[in-house]
Amino acid sequence: MHFQNMNNSNTLSLSDCAYQPCNLKRLAKASSARKWILFTAQTHLPELKELQTYSVDCEKIIQLKPSNKSNEMEVVIKAITSGNASAVVASGNIDAVAQKQLQQLGREHSCDVFFSTSNTQYLH
């Protein structure tokens, strides 16, 4: 896996209107753990203001770089099973059956798994 730490990146902010308050609350809870919140390369980050409003520890957010060897599902499996993540956010491009399987795998590894539905990028 390739990591790109987002805690010092104020020049690029990607928004995803699919982030509901309940999911942001879950991300805030996940950020209280001593682990990372990982976003796949295919997933857009919520607005910094949204994260701060819900007290998400932005210092624990990492956007994974695109993989040359693995598809998104394989990256999510590695992220969950690594034991380094309290939450993984993937795109909605993963089919519904696979999403349920990944969420079950996440429960087995104490890792919350989310799926984004927006592909719209907003540069700030």
pLDDT tens figures, 7-32 = 433 222 233 334 677 788 989 999 99
pLDDT attached to residue 19? 65
DSSP 93-122: TS-HHHHHHHHHHHHHTT-EEEEE------
The structure's pTM equals: 0.78
**Domain layout of the chain by residue ranges:** 34-116
For residue 41, give the nearest of 93, 102, 82 by alpha carbon: 93
Class of domain 34-116: alpha beta
